[in-house]
Structure 1
Amino acid sequence: MSYSETNMVKAQIKPSPSLIYNNLTLCGGDLLYAHIRQACAFPTSSLGSSVMAVRKIDSPHADVIHSIVACSHNAATFLVLATDAGLQIWDNTITHLTHVCPLPAAGASDVAPRNAYFARGITINVANNGAPHICFGTSGGAVYSLELSESSGKFKSSPVALPKHHKSPITAVGSAYQSRQGRWTEDLGCHLVSCDEDGGVAVWLAQHAGAGGYSLVNSIEPTGQPVVSVAVRRDLIVAARLDGAVQLYGLRDGKLRADIGGHSRFISAMDIHPTKDIITTVSEDCTLGIWALPIGGAKASCLLSVCWLHAMLTGVAFCGPTSDDVAVVAYDTDEVHVYRYST
């Protein structure tokens, strides 16, 4: 059972992905990426074809996309876009725009206006009372939750702000539920992890999704290296930092457990396997890495390291019938590479 750089298929995709963090996600049977103001989808069932038909998602909103994430809860899957105007939430067929959440007013903020105001970072979480909700961050340093009504299948009209904590723009948010792609397991919990441009990490506990439902559990001091992608697995925070390191912290105490020197340049994307304790990362050093995490007494190990020469890799995602294959895309490159898992 292994990965190999020779066991790879490629196909043409047009248009090419935008240069944003984590610009690839799996939603149902489609892989999706953002091209400036538009989401683009192509079916995983056609990954062996030399040329694939890329479907451009027609949206009435021409907003620049900063994050694209598929969120699953029970039998439902949503495609969520974080834009400079707020959130767009699509159904799993990516044909119906089910909810639009305008970006909350920035209000008074201690965060320096480093750039325009926009939403970035998306995850789904389930509170202690069982309420599912989408969480997202903003460039103003705020984090919000948007509750999903299970009875109606619709989202509440207005997002609720978490207590103020971050002093720089949010770069990523994550939860165990998101990392498991909506699968119920014994290690889920109700924690949310938010990260900012200064490299700070905050851990929150959700009692409910309404006002006052979140409380800060602990935080990791800023390191100066932003976290570009974050996941939660078995009471550990898995944080991919801009300097090329993947760091594991205790979820409840914030202590550093492991440091994987994965890349020599900036990490641009990370994905975690929904059932296995492995991650995949891509970087500005033109390499894709697949890593076994040091969890449960196991040692960290590299399962694959392969170079896509002269490519600015911008998105990576586990895919395939058992989520074991790995797809990678690059900015300004009309191609997708998929590395097959051999049993």
Structure 2
Amino acid sequence: MYRKEKSLSMKGSTSALCHNLSVYTDNDKRTQSYGVVHKSVANIITIAADGANVLMQRQVIVKEPGGHGSTIVMQMKYCEFPERSLMVMACQRGIQIYESDGSVMLYWHSLVNPESNEVSKAYARGICTLQDSMLCIGTDSGTILVFEIPPKGTNILLKESLKEHVLPISCLHSHGLVLASGDDSGCIILWRVEESQLHPYKRIDGLGSPCSGVRLWNELLVATYGSGHIRLFKVISGHMCAEVTAHARWINAIDVVHRNGMVLTVSEDSFAKIWQLKEGDAPEIEHLSSECVQNVLLCGAAFTHPDGTSFCVTGCDLAEVICFTTK
């Protein structure tokens, strides 16, 4: 169903982290940007939307403010708001927010006491936007930090801290008024925005394996696990309505096409797989296609066309983004 296209070469390699690929399409400038992280470096490449030319390559070295040395990046993500787009770094010891091209750091939020000399194991992981102005980021303590993002400028404020999870947050995703959060125990909590604040309304207990990814599509929640399973839940009730033994090993990334319900998953088993969601009284998930990148531990994935006709993946220690398109 898909064929491999020319890969995009990066200046640096890719760490073995879940969701280690983010793609940003700038429709005004007709460009696409791809970002991956390795240790304390974010590798960024921007190409023309038609794929003809590489317009920019940049490496952003993530350092703690005050010159305290570099910090390990756990995840980077392009976050789009109605008036602006940002590049967000979830790191050890804190959170950094940049302009979308990585040129200027706008905000730093520390997860540790800056006056403490103790070595901290604090980290942030899991990033998503919510509605028009909220940015949600998970932490190792199980807390979700909610920031208010202004239309412009650097006046970014911590709005609230949500504490329902016991173990570290692993993944976040939102759609409409609903936020889904997963953790290292496999537990998923569904939240709803009420009067500009988030309130938990449903808890889905884990089944013995960490939840590695969540995606909301219409009235369905798709969750991936370290066991290689994909599970489908109803957003309103939290009832599980489908389960697939999708991969032989840990699923590292998931993406969804909101237009048509196509799902992309990649795993340590070297496979990228495409699925189709079906709504109704008895929702289903159907396998459509599989692509193997031999001997590569895949750790990032994203659709690059709004109809799901193209996607890209990254793999551990690769210095490239591998692209696929429909035949």
Relative to the length of structure 1, the TM-score reads 0.82
Are 2:138 and 1:137 aligned? Answer: yes
SS at match of 2:157: coil
SS at match of 2:6: strand
Are 2:191 and 1:204 aligned? Answer: yes
| Alignment counterpart, residue 219 of structure 1, candidates 200, 203, 228 | 203
Q: Please say if residues 128 and 172 of structure 2, whose CA atoms lie closer than 8 Å, have aligned partners that are also in contact.
A: yes
Are 2:285 and 1:337 aligned? Answer: no
User: Which position in structure 1 is the counterpart of 2:81?
Assistant: 73
SS at match of 1:120: strand
Q: Please say if residues 209 and 226 of structure 2, whose CA atoms lie closer than 8 Å, have aligned partners that are also in contact.
A: yes
Q: Structure 1's 51 and 44: CA in aligned 2 closer, same or farther, altered over 3 A?
A: closer
Q: Please say if residues 65 and 84 of structure 1, whose CA atoms lie closer than 8 Å, have aligned partners that are also in contact.
A: yes
Aligned residues: 309
SS at match of 2:290: strand
User: Which position in structure 1 is the counterpart of 2:28?
Assistant: none
User: Which position in structure 1 is the counterpart of 2:169?
Assistant: 170
1:266-303 deviation per Cα after TM superposition (whole angstroms, max 9, x unaligned) = 10111112433111111011101111112347753223
Q: Structure 1's 154 and 251: CA in aligned 2 closer, same or farther, altered over 3 A?
A: farther
SS at match of 1:39: strand
Q: Distance in 1 between matches of 2:129 and 2:53?
A: 34
Q: Distance in 2 between matches of 1:214 and 1:49?
A: 43
Are 2:190 and 1:191 aligned? Answer: no
Q: Please say if residues 244 and 261 of structure 1, whose CA atoms lie closer than 8 Å, have aligned partners that are also in contact.
A: yes
| Alignment counterpart, residue 46 of structure 2, candidates 32, 39, 43 | 43
- Unaligned runs of 5+ residues in structure 1 are 106-114, 177-187
User: Which position in structure 2 is the counterpart of 1:306?
Assistant: 291
Q: Distance in 2 between matches of 1:103 and 1:11?
A: 34
Are 2:96 and 1:88 aligned? Answer: yes
Q: Structure 1's 218 and 330: CA in aligned 2 closer, same or farther, altered over 3 A?
A: same
After TM superposition, the structure 1 stretch with the greater mean CA deviation from structure 2, 66-75 or 28-37, is 66-75
Q: Distance in 1 between matches of 2:314 and 2:55?
A: 14
Q: Please say if residues 85 and 119 of structure 1, whose CA atoms lie closer than 8 Å, have aligned partners that are also in contact.
A: yes
Q: Distance in 2 between matches of 1:50 and 1:44?
A: 6
Q: How does 1:51-66 map to 2 (within 5 A)?
A: 54-61=57-64, 62-66=70-74
Q: Distance in 1 between matches of 2:100 and 2:320?
A: 24
Are 2:23 and 1:9 aligned? Answer: no
Q: Distance in 2 between matches of 1:304 and 1:43?
A: 28
Q: Distance in 1 between matches of 2:125 and 2:204?
A: 20
Give 1:138 deviation, angstroms: 0.8
Q: Structure 1's 58 and 270: CA in aligned 2 closer, same or farther, altered over 3 A?
A: same
Give 1:249 deviation, angstroms: 0.9
Q: Structure 1's 44 and 167: CA in aligned 2 closer, same or farther, altered over 3 A?
A: same
Give 1:116 deviation, angstroms: 2.0
After TM superposition, the structure 1 stretch with the greater mean CA deviation from structure 2, 69-78 or 152-161, is 152-161
Q: Please say if residues 10 and 50 of structure 1, whose CA atoms lie closer than 8 Å, have aligned partners that are also in contact.
A: no
Q: Structure 1's 257 and 321: CA in aligned 2 closer, same or farther, altered over 3 A?
A: closer
Q: Distance in 2 between matches of 1:310 and 1:218?
A: 39
Give 1:58 deviation, angstroms: 4.5
User: Which position in structure 1 is the counterpart of 2:303?
Assistant: 318
Q: Please say if residues 40 and 63 of structure 2, whose CA atoms lie closer than 8 Å, have aligned partners that are also in contact.
A: no
Q: How does 1:92-111 map to 2 (within 5 A)?
A: 92-103=100-111
Give 1:132 deviation, angstroms: 1.9
Aligned-residue Cα RMSD (Å) equals: 2.5
User: Which position in structure 2 is the counterpart of 1:161?
Assistant: 161
User: Which position in structure 1 is the counterpart of 2:29?
Assistant: none
Q: Distance in 1 between matches of 2:203 and 2:123?
A: 24
